[in-house]
Amino acid sequence: MHDWKSILPEPLDGILPGVMRGSVCQAGGSHSFAAKSPIDGQPTLDVWTATADDVKSVVEAAHESFLSWQTVPAPVRGHLVREIGEWVRANKQPLAEIVCLESGKIMPEALGEIQEWIDVCDFAVGLSRQLYGKTIASERPEHFLIEQWHPLGVVGVISAFNFPAAVWAWNAMIALVCGDTVVWKPSEQTPLTALACHQAVVAATEKISAEIGSLPDCLSSVVIGGADVGAALASNPMVPLVSATGSIPMGRKVAATVGSRLGRSLLELGGNNAMIVAPSADLKLAVRAIVFSAVGTCGQRCTSLRRLIVHRSLASDLIARLKSAYATLAIGDPRLPGTLVGPLVGPNSWTAMQQAIADAESQGGTLVCGGKRATGVGDGAYVEPAIIHMPAQTDVMLRETFAPVLYVVEYDKLDEAIAIHNDVPQGLSSAIFTGDAREAMSFIGPAGSDCGLANVNIGTSGAEIGGAFGGEKQTGGGRESGSDSWKQYMRRTTCTINYGTALPLAQGIEFG
């Protein structure tokens, strides 16, 4: 087994680099920091922080690499991503250990996140031979009309703490096969994960360069720092696309900054996801889905279940079943076998959770269970996941609290349930549990869920990489990973070819 420190870059003056420009390590600015592990509140390794000037130089280097990378055949670019995936397979355990240390998610979830990276590599490799355009019928004789997709440029990625490897991989692996280069600004909470992920690209680039000739060095780069580093990346005109994952306020700032220079932004923001449980639902199945969706990653997934909309005839029974299930949850150190719920990322999350519970109670809610600090499990922000029975959907339920707080409301008719479901500003993931095909089809139909993800008889968490991931409304409208989301990382060109000897004009125009 590898020591997880062995897959990090060499320290500079005893401190890990804050800037990775391709294979070149840089200290960054004059400051360093150590993020605190949510497991025990203790600092991890020291890392230098980048500056706005560092971002500028990294983007310039990434652009220079793009100028040659864009002309490399897409299947060759896929060969690089295949090699990245092989490196990740060989280092899956130490990568997961770093994710667990920095994000606090339990080891099975951390391993699952690294597997997601491997899976998106496989997807991207196949995609490298399928960047299809179209042949379009021309209205003019002896004319040929085609649509092509070309590499876009430098892609900026700003990611959050809760999926510190997967979100970057969704973007970076697709961007690389599309012929783009990548500059990544990770969460300050998870710098070690970012540096370890970057080592995969460096190792793969070096191996492929030795096999087929030198590849550009700055295909992927990392800049570690705070909001100023993210702002410098978003404002740089040499970055045509910025993909940002995080809070809605952060997304608004990124969208405004990128939009002011007429760039593209791909936003994955707040969730506030709901599930409807209909009278015909399989309650045993529903309980499993509810518990994992609501308490997995300690309620800190963008797809975590926040709102449970239950038919009135089932409410008492389902709440009792959930209360019993919650009582069996193993809360504790996420590195230990058997743990199901790790810590919140930090004390601010605990404060937000307590405020949400207080607000819910002041708005008529009844705390069914949980909401307290878990005892005897260490110095991190370990909490008992909470269930709150609400009289209706009140103001507190319209905002997303990034913690394991599940609100339960009752309904009588499906139209009412769907109205409650859609009456929030966010629109990421959704679900219905029902044995009625009509209800299921109504939910996933045009007048049903208004979310980017609509599920039937599964929970709100656990999207597969083959489908496009993202949401509507204040979730941002972006789509990452599967399906045709690759098109966001490329530019479209419509080409008209005249192979005749005349010059007929479109729309039958006569000119002189």
Positions annotated as catalytic residues are 268, 302
CB contact set of 59 (below 8 Å; sequence gap of 6+): 154, 156, 183, 233, 236, 238, 239
Tell which residue, 346, 468, 473, has the closest CA to residue 422: 473
H or E stretch covering 205: helix 191-212
CB contact set of 110 (below 8 Å; sequence gap of 6+): 96, 97, 99, 100, 103, 334
CB contact set of 49 (below 8 Å; sequence gap of 6+): 18, 28, 29, 31, 32, 33, 224, 225, 226, 229
Structure tokens at 354: 């307590």
Q: Could you tell me if 323 and 369 are in contact, meaning their C-beta atoms sit under 8 angstroms apart?
A: yes
Q: What is the CA radius of gyration of the chain?
A: 24
Q: Could you tell me if 261 and 231 are in contact, meaning their C-beta atoms sit under 8 angstroms apart?
A: no
Q: How far apart are CA 295 and CA 27, in angstroms?
A: 38
CB contact set of 57 (below 8 Å; sequence gap of 6+): 21
